[in-house]
Chain A
Amino acid sequence: MITTFTSSEVTTIALAVSFLLCAFLGSGKFRLGQIIRYYALQSLFLAGLLVSMAAYGDEHLYLSALGVIIFKVILIPAIISTSAKRSSASGRLTSFVRPAPSYFVSGITLLLAVLAGMSIAPALEETDLILTVTAFAAMFLGGAMMAVRRDLYSQIIGFFTLENGIAILAAATLGAIPLLAEVGIFFTITIGALLMSVLSRRLKELYAVEDTGELRELVD
């Protein structure tokens, strides 16, 4: 039942796979700089994906791709890395699982996400199916990263990967979100990044700890 793919579909699939690859690789890295770079790369692939979808879809996607590049590739990594540097964070990330098994965890989450994606939309035709699957995969990978990692910064990056997944899902299912909404989302993400970094710096100053594990004692 191999159906012939048109050239644009091939590029979309390729970009989606590489997007997933960056997310997958990023989930295993334990240095702050690396995971920020993988996140930027991932957002870049996201922008490419949007551009390829714009070919046969809506023209607005070009603008949203541009927005992705400006905000997600340049602005947010800059914010996070400057705040990390200013609060002289150790940059060494801590996690519940050691690096090797974290890949294993990400692999399983990927598998589950694909399973979920498949069961959700068997009726869609190929490209949409792949896009929804990648969206779910990205969401679950981001979630897994947040669940597994102990330190704050990787939680932020996991959260943003999750957000990327949602962006893809929105683009795949809705075609194009109205521009105003798109801009709104970007601003919220940046503010989110700002807030989270301020929070991490504050926590570092108050409790001299980056590990969310110790936060358990903050009862009332």
Chain B
Amino acid sequence: MSLTTLAIALVISVVGTFAAGLVALWPDPRAHRASNIILAVSAAFGAVVGIYVATGSNVSLIVPEALYPVAADGSAHAWPMFYGMVFGLDRFSAIFFSILSVVTVLVAVYAIPYLEHYAASYNVRSVNALTALFIFGMQGVLLSTNIFGFMTFWEIISIASFFLVLADGTEASRKAGFLYLIITHIGAGAIMSGLFLLSGGALLSDFSVIALVTPELPEVTFSIALGLLLFGFGSKAGLVPFHVWLPEAHPQAPTHVSALMSGVMLKIAVYGFLRVLLFMLPGVPMWFVLTIVVLGVISAIVGVLYAVLERDIKRLLAYSSIENLGLIFTMIGVGLLAGQEGSVDLTQAALYAALFLAASHAIFKTGLFLSSGVIIAAVHSRRLEAMGGLAQRMPMFSVAVCVLALSAAAMPPFAPFMAEWTFLQAVVGALTEATPMLKVALVVILAAVGFVAGLALFAMVKMFAIAFLAKPRTDEAAAAVEPKPGFLIPIVVLAFISLILGLFSPLVLNKIGAVDLAPADLGTQVISTGGGGLAPLSLFLVIAGISLALFLLRRLLSDVKFERSYQTWDCGQPTTPRMEYTATAFSAPIRFFFRFFLRAQKVVTATPLTPNNPWVASRTMSLLVSQVWYDRLYAPIGSGVTRLAGLVGRLQNGSIQFYISLILLALLVTLIVAL
């Protein structure tokens, strides 16, 4: 496909998304379905372009100049009303663009039945329009190549997602929305000021121009800019000290939007961070790399610990996003650290592992959020304790969710395992000839990633088992039925993609540029790094072969029809579904082992039969999982700010004379001091 056709397809995808937003506002009830279909089609175009550019090695930067008005002297210049801004898709942003487009196609398909099912609690037209705007903003960020474009679309993302969080208008979503608004906008401010510091205040300067300017920057402004950028992108990606908004905001948004937010918006933050780090900055000082690694490791551990504790399915997924983002930032940090310390192949392996984990996280996290939407629609509650027995009632759906949950726990045949394998193998490979400081860091990271991988498995098994297995704990769960195809197809497709992405990961890695990570001479079947090799497809075939052999052997050695179904062995006493293990009980050992960090308070209240009759009628146990970061860090800041505001409030005592004298005083001070 020649450049112009690619450019046209790209423009169709972007304009189509915007058009979908406009169509959504049409008062006609059919507009809901139409806008989502347009969104899906335009995203499909985007996916084709993204994948073609990401894998094609020859296409460097598509500037759709075919569509620019040609200036008098024949030189193509950008649309005048865009101040000469140039939009383009290079190989790096194409990876994220294809992730965004693939996810959007499936989310748009999912949105049709979802919003029809929730037509009462959401204003369908505004949610559709805002979702299209949200995706348009993300596309814009990926396409823009200068500060002005980047920041405007970044703002569009923040504003659209803010209103989407408020979509259901409950008090909790309003509170979460404001927290989200505050943190993202402080972050956006930090990014903008960081970029301006780098570019010396030029609003429209191109990223490549900044890359030339940055080497001469004085040390101080350079490190301040880096700090601001880390804070900005970190708060958007949910790194630990700034992660507080993520578990509040994601669950409140409509499910398909929280899938987009968790799956793709966090990757846009990673894209922005990498775009600045790899393409704009000459070299990065050691303290910066170490902070990335430390923040990444801490947010991975905190994310996974709270994911293990959570009993609300969407908050659990949000915390697991924090954990995965923490892993991605650790990989980026280790890549940069290795780059500084001179072990080259660890750098490439770590960075490509980060990219691959980001891509696979987008796939399985979107799938998990969409499936949590289906469960909540069936059970009318987000608490894991109200679910159960869904696997019996929705077999096909539960198989897909089992695949997604196992890929979220980084289990072998699926994509995230390949990313984590590449990273761990590269780290072990680099251990031998690393410098002493790098050795210590790598050992700590090895232990931390192992710890996080273990607990991630715990969290995902808990989520899947408590939600799907055993007997239903509530009547709604008992009445659940297999979801409609509109819900089921996107989730099954996402599970399938996660498997295919895992099996053909060497091919994918080779195509997106990690040539010596998955060398072509081995027929792109093996990922080889740090002295070890992994052939995902043959691994899968071995496992499948063994299972098939066992299946046949069992039929051979025993009579299959000699079977009877009977109630679970209950020691003779009738058992009720309430006796099953709940999410709280399942995670009790971990909560006990890490009680120092987690400070969860268990309150057991025994209610006597009558006030003076000590006989206990019922005993209730409630668990308060305190958000340590929120209570220790954000609450004091919040109360400090409100106290300060109180002081200032006292100034407004209503007397006019007081105000006039203040004005005079201000005038006097400015005249004498300022001028």
Contacts and interface: CB of A to CB of B under 8 A. Distances in A.
B656 interface: yes
A205 to B, nearest CB: 20
A216 B663 contact: no
B660 A147 contact: yes
Interface string B640-661: 0000000000000111110011
Given A212-B657, A216-B653, A147 B664 contact: yes
B672 interface: yes
Contacts of B675: 119-120
Contacts of B437: none
Given A213-B655, A216-B654, A219-B654, A140 B668 contact: yes
Contacts of B663: 143
Q: Which 10 A-B pairs have the closest CB atoms?
A: A216-B654, A116-B671, A147-B661, A143-B664, A147-B660, A146-B660, A147-B657, A119-B672, A212-B656, A216-B655
B657 A116 contact: no
A112 B656 contact: no
Given A116-B672, A119-B671, A146 B657 contact: yes
Given A215-B654, A219-B654, A136 B671 contact: yes
Interface in A16-53: none
A119 B653 CA distance: 33
Given A146-B660, A147-B660, A147-B661, A116 B668 contact: yes
Among A143, A149, A150, chain B packs the most CB atoms within 10 A around the CB of A143
A196 to B, nearest CB: 13
A199 interface: no
A122 to B, nearest CB: 11
Interface in A75-130: 96, 109, 112, 115-116, 119-120
A193 interface: no
Nearest to B663: A143
Nearest to A155: B656
14 contacts: A112-B668, A115-B672, A116-B671, A116-B672, A136-B671, A144-B664, A148-B657, A150-B657, A155-B656, A212-B657, A213-B655, A215-B654, A215-B656, A219-B654
Contacts of B661: 143, 147
Secondary structure at chain A's binding surface: helix, strand, loop or mixed?
A: helix
Contacts of A140: 664, 667-668
A139 B664 CA distance: 9
A115 to B, nearest CB: 7
Interface in A128-185: 136, 139-140, 143-144, 146-150, 155
Nearest to A152: B656
Contacts of A149: 657
Q: Looking at chain B, what size class is its interface with the partner chain?
A: 10 to 19
A156 to B, nearest CB: 13
Contacts of B654: 215-219
A124 B170 CA distance: 64
A146 B655 CA distance: 12
Nearest to B661: A147
Interface of A: 96, 109, 112, 115-116, 119-120, 136, 139-140, 143-144, 146-150, 155, 212-213, 215-219
B117 to A, nearest CB: 45
A136 B675 CA distance: 14
A115 B661 CA distance: 18
A120 B671 contact: yes
Q: Which of A139, A144, A146 has the most CB of B within 10 A?
A: A146
A219 to B, nearest CB: 7
B670 to A, nearest CB: 9
A212 B658 CA distance: 11
Nearest to B656: A212
A114 to B, nearest CB: 11
Nearest to A118: B672
Contacts of B671: 116, 119-120, 136
Contacts of A112: 668
Contacts of B668: 112, 116, 140
Contacts of A136: 671
A217 B664 CA distance: 24
Contacts of A143: 660-661, 663-664, 667
Contacts of B664: 109, 140, 143-144, 147
Nearest to A136: B671
Interface in B91-125: none
Interface string B223-237: 000000000000000
A128 to B, nearest CB: 16
A112 B672 CA distance: 9
B126 to A, nearest CB: 33
A214 to B, nearest CB: 10
A195 B335 CA distance: 72
A120 B656 CA distance: 28
B391 to A, nearest CB: 59
Contacts of B672: 115-116, 119
Given A139-B667, A147-B661, A148-B657, 12 more contacts: A116-B668, A119-B671, A119-B672, A140-B664, A140-B668, A143-B660, A146-B660, A149-B657, A155-B656, A212-B656, A216-B654, A218-B654
Nearest to A116: B671
A1 B574 CA distance: 112
Contacts of A139: 667
Nearest to B669: A116
B455 to A, nearest CB: 54
Nearest to B658: A147
A56 to B, nearest CB: 27
A83 to B, nearest CB: 20
Contacts of B653: 216
B673 to A, nearest CB: 9
Nearest to B670: A116
A215 B655 CA distance: 7
Centre residue among A120, A147, A216 by max chain B CB count within 10 A: A147
A67 B577 CA distance: 94
Contacts of A146: 657, 660
